[in-house]
Amino acid sequence: MSRKLKVKIICLIAVAAISMAAMGILLSSMQNELSLDGYTTEMKQEADALEGLLSVADEGVAQSTVTYDEIYQSKAESVAFMANNDAGFEPTDAKMVEYQDLLGVDNVVVVSRDGAILAKARDTLANFSFSRFNQLRTVFADGEPSEAVEIELPEQDWLFRYYAARIDDGSMVVIEQNPDELRQLVADTGSIESVLKDIAIGQHGYLFAVSAQDYVIAYHPNADLVGADALDAGIDAVDLEDGNLAWMKLAGESLYCEVSKIGDMYYVAAVPESDMATTRNITVGVILFIFFAVMCVVIMYGIFVMREDEREGRSPEDYCTMGPLRYNKAIGRKAAVLSLVGFIGILGVSFYMQTLFALSSESVANNERAAEAVETIQRADERMTALQDQYSERYLSKARVAGYILDHNPALANRDDLQRLADTLMIQYLFTFDGNGVMTATNSSYANFTMSEDPESQSFEFRKLLQGADSVVQEAQPDEISGQLRQYIGVPLHAESGEVDGAVQIGIRPTRLEKLLETVTVDSVLNGVKVGADGFAFAVNKEDDTFVSFPDQRLVGKNALEHGMTENQFKDGYCDYVTVEGVTYYASSAETDDYYLYIAGTEGELMAERVPLTMATGGVAFVCLAAIFLLLAFEPRRSVTVAKGVGAEERDARMIDVKMPSGRTAKTESAASRWLDRSFKWSEKTAEQKTATVVRWLVGVSVIAVFAAVVFQDRIFGQGSLFSYILGGNWERGLNIFAFTACIMFVCVALTVVTIVHKLLNLLSSVLGARGETVCRLLGSFIKYATIIGMVYYCLMLVGVDTTTLLASAGILSIAISFGAKELVSDILSGLFIIFEGEFRVGDIIKVGDWRGTVVEIGVRTTKVQDGSQNIKVIRNSDISNVINMTKETSYASCDVGIEYGESLERVENILSKELPNIRKRLPAIIDGPFYKGVVELGDNSVTIRIVVQCAEPDRLQLERDLNREMKLIFDKYDISIPFPQVVVNQPVEFKKATAREKRSADRFNAEQKAAAKELGNDEDDETR
């Protein structure tokens, strides 16, 4: 290798290294920048919406607290009402225990004005004389139930909320109640956790809250961090500034964060750096590998060609002078093609990887959000049932109190007293009925009402009370008179003897329950799910396919099929595009008992990063490949080493030149060599073969890498990775990028396994006999075809083809083929087998039947073969059989000529030994020879000998004619007769005899020619061998 070539190689390697570094830095920085821009936009939008969400949550907390307090204020006032209305009140511990059970509270206490306990249901830690309970004593001033007083002393295990109502000027009744129920309600509907837990940023991003007063973490998805000091956990206090965007460390995890200060709390939107790193590293890694592969192929090809030029020389015609430089046409043409194809490949892979990772990341994130939404809805359903049961129990408690009071003082069953009792119980209506179900009193405007005896009527159910039922609690429904939504609850009334002699019914307008239930509806839950900048969640009813929830309220209640969705999208685990009202979204679905939930995002937001990154990648790749091309194809002007020409002894019989249909000359492997189980030595390969080997190495590395990534996906990438998602199959079958990627992965795994099996079979065949090697080759062929069929079948399944139906259809198809399309299918299958088996290639010289020529095209149905006269024979693929592949470096031309039996064979051979070299001088088309092949036939009236020469296939026919001429001239010159049919009466011919010297010379010549022409000739055509 010359010093100049070494310098050029060093320059090419340096350019490649610089290009790789530049591409890596650019891709990483752009990927980071684009990701950060997307996350920043999403974070700001979340921050803008957060204050409104917190305000709504605060309002919900306030309303829930007021409602809770009013319930227990009413209970306290109920006891006071009984004390002031002769309803069996006694300030005794036993009576307080009775009230405790009636009201469903933790404790009922009668307290004097100075704080002394007069009666109690159970012991209490409270000392009502302390000033902390002064709020309770306001009842003596205004006569209204007191505001709640909450005492929380964890060290004393004391957590109670207290409510008071005035009995008289000297005493009051106090309800003592543990507020766990209130706190749970607040936590479920109005806490910071309830607001932040359903907000997702990117795939694994989230919001957490830090107190602006003491930097304690108020909320974090990791419960172990709640209550921890944010500064001790790694956050810098300087970064906690409203509107600040910064990288932060929390519990050892690097986070990209945006800070919003609302009230006395910092709300931090955070995205783990690992989210961006995973996408960035795999995307950049794949694109860099393709870029490296393209540069490697282009550079290695140029080096191989230049190395050949140094060894063999190059014709000046292969160069073009351009000023001080000269252009190498041979390198430049192919390097340009390789560079162009590689450049397009880099663009395609970059765009493909961006699309794949955008969709897969979004799919994984959406699936997680959908699963979380399902869990939230399930919890909401449970919460809704619990709220309904809870309020029904509370309302039933009010009805029992009303029944208890009226049982102890039936005189209160009049409009005025019932109104006072209704106000005390905080209900709308009270109704009393006699034993026949006739209304006897009410505070409502209704009159002359009797419980219906019609089972379909709303009031019929309450007749159970007259028959001794303990209670009746109806669900809220429009009443029979006003049509307004009301809930009715009833308990029986008893006579002094204890027998049922009527009923009391309360009527409630459950507005507060309705408001609470609104917070746990599907619409409310999905409105709290935030998906990117423009994403959202919606739901479809499983029964009637109508929208239950959708951002555009005009669509709620309308049929989804009429607004763009399709039937196949109504299922669990759907992950693909959906169209609603002409807008396309990328969505993932999950199924609940009643709904299909969808997490959707717009395609524009999803694919925003593809084009800029692809363009930047293409720009860098173009510059780098252009620089490499210039280094390869151009060099300073200097003398050209003239091609030395390669003799026959230097030629490798396994590699030959063939002329392609396009007119260009290409290298190919001889037919006999293709079935040898032996590889070429590196030095024997051409530049193209070496380049093809490099390409195979690179493809092999990529296939093995994909194989390892698939097999060891969890160890390498962890759960929830791209590979886990694609191989998990949680995407929609069809012509989409996931199906295409899954096909690639499956093919890589299958090829790797098959290659390993083939290598093992080759090793096994090397230690077995002929029969064992035959079996190994048969197994190898079977495995190859079985793998191809399996890959096609599986890939068809991945792209959404119903393979079961396909197999069933194959039977029907075979019947149709047997009638009309048999020959067509036979031709196509034969063509496929020709390609797979490699029987011959374009450019090969073959013989089919009596037709010999060069293959110019292998088509789907036919193969075209061109003979030496430029005639093209079109042969159906199914008719091609018993093919003789005659592809060698050179063809041969032969001449068979007869001599008379009386002629001395030794004399003829002695003459040929002198004249054959002269024939080569006169016929320049001869590449090697002529060679004397000996006697090929003892005919009826002649002895036939054969002369053969090596030549190019286009010269073969003419050279055979020229050989015939030369042999006739030689025979005429030496009076050697060529037999021909004739009638001879009697004219003996006296033939010349060979001398002893001529005989010895003929023997030597015959032996030499046998050795020289051992591998040459058309012996396969002899019928008399």
- The pair phi, psi for residue 610, each rounded to 5°, is -65, -55
CA distance 535 to 600: 5
> Across residues 478-492, what is the average pLDDT?
77
- Both tokens of residue 204? 């694994």
Whether residues 785 and 902 fall in one domain: no
Q: What is the pTM of this model?
A: 0.60
The per-residue pLDDT for 821 is 57
Of residues 494 and 333, more confidence is placed in: 494
The per-residue pLDDT for 840 is 74
> Across residues 147-175, what is the average pLDDT?
93
> Across residues 890-903, what is the average pLDDT?
86
Of residues 847 and 228, more confidence is placed in: 228
The per-residue pLDDT for 275 is 73
**Which CATH number is 917's domain given?**
3.30.70.100
Q: Is the pLDDT of residue 1024 over 50?
A: no
Q: State pLDDT tens for residues 137-157.
A: 999 999 899 999 999 998 888
The per-residue pLDDT for 72 is 92
> Across residues 116-127, what is the average pLDDT?
94
The per-residue pLDDT for 638 is 61
**Amino acid at position 183, single letter:** R
If you ran DSSP here, which 8-state letter would residue 821 be given? I
Angle at the Cα of 569 (from 565 to 574), degrees rounded to 5? 140
Q: Which of 113-117, 337-341, 771-775, 853-857 has the lowest mean pLDDT?
A: 771-775
Residue where a domain terminates, one of 747, 782, 801? 801
Confidence of residue 648 (pLDDT cuts 50, 70, 90): very low
Q: How far is CA 1000 from CA 131, 423, 485, 915, in A?
A: 145, 145, 131, 17
CA distance 582 to 586: 13
The per-residue pLDDT for 209 is 94
Most confident segment among 210-214, 626-630, 839-843? 210-214
Q: Is the pLDDT of residue 663 over 80?
A: no
The per-residue pLDDT for 808 is 61
Q: Is the pLDDT of residue 608 over 70?
A: no
Helix (H) or strand (E) holding 588: strand 583-591
Q: State pLDDT tens for residues 420-438.
A: 999 998 888 999 999 999 9
**Mean pLDDT over each residue of the chain, to the nearest integer:** 80
Q: State pLDDT tens for residues 293-307.
A: 888 888 888 888 777
Residue where a domain terminates, one of 756, 775, 801? 801
- The pair phi, psi for residue 983, each rounded to 5°, is -105, 120
Most confident segment among 242-246, 647-651, 949-953? 242-246
Q: State pLDDT tens for residues 684-731.
A: 677 777 788 888 888 888 888 888 877 777 666 655 555 666 766 666
Of residues 1016 and 906, more confidence is placed in: 906
> Across residues 952-973, what is the average pLDDT?
86
> Across residues 153-178, what is the average pLDDT?
93
Most confident segment among 197-206, 290-299, 353-362, 948-957? 290-299
Contact between 283 and 353 under an 8 Å Cβ cutoff? The reply is yes
Q: Is residue 414 part of a domain?
A: yes
The per-residue pLDDT for 643 is 46
> Across residues 442-446, what is the average pLDDT?
88
- Both tokens of residue 651? 């030629």
Confidence of residue 341 (pLDDT cuts 50, 70, 90): confident
The per-residue pLDDT for 1017 is 54
CA 766 to chain centre: 43
Residue 430 domain boundaries: 387-488
Q: Is the pLDDT of residue 64 over 90?
A: no
CA 1016 to chain centre: 59
Q: Is residue 102 part of a domain?
A: no
Q: Is the pLDDT of residue 819 over 60?
A: no
Whether residues 902 and 795 fall in one domain: no
Q: State pLDDT tens for residues 980-991.
A: 765 555 555 565
The per-residue pLDDT for 732 is 67
Q: Is residue 1006 part of a domain?
A: yes
* Percent share of the chain, pLDDT over 70: 80
Confidence of residue 604 (pLDDT cuts 50, 70, 90): low
Q: Is residue 903 part of a domain?
A: yes
Q: Which of 217-221, 808-812, 885-889, 1004-1008 has the lowest mean pLDDT?
A: 808-812
Most confident segment among 326-335, 652-661, 901-910? 901-910
> Across residues 672-678, what is the average pLDDT?
51
Q: Which residues lie closer than 8 Å to 465 by C-beta, 6 or more apart?
A: 433, 471, 472, 490, 491, 492, 500, 503
The per-residue pLDDT for 50 is 86
Q: Is residue 8 part of a domain?
A: no
Confidence of residue 456 (pLDDT cuts 50, 70, 90): confident
> Across residues 170-185, what is the average pLDDT?
92
> Across residues 664-682, what is the average pLDDT?
57
Beta-bridge partners for 158: 153
The per-residue pLDDT for 266 is 94
Q: Is residue 352 part of a domain?
A: no
Q: Is residue 74 part of a domain?
A: no
Residue where a domain terminates, one of 801, 819, 834? 801
Q: Is residue 238 part of a domain?
A: no
The per-residue pLDDT for 81 is 93
CA distance 533 to 42: 5
The per-residue pLDDT for 134 is 93
Q: Which residues lie closer than 8 Å to 917 by C-beta, 6 or more apart?
A: none
The per-residue pLDDT for 510 is 75
Q: How far is CA 619 from CA 343, 613, 624, 633, 938, in A?
A: 10, 10, 9, 21, 76
The per-residue pLDDT for 1016 is 56
- What domain count does the chain have? 3
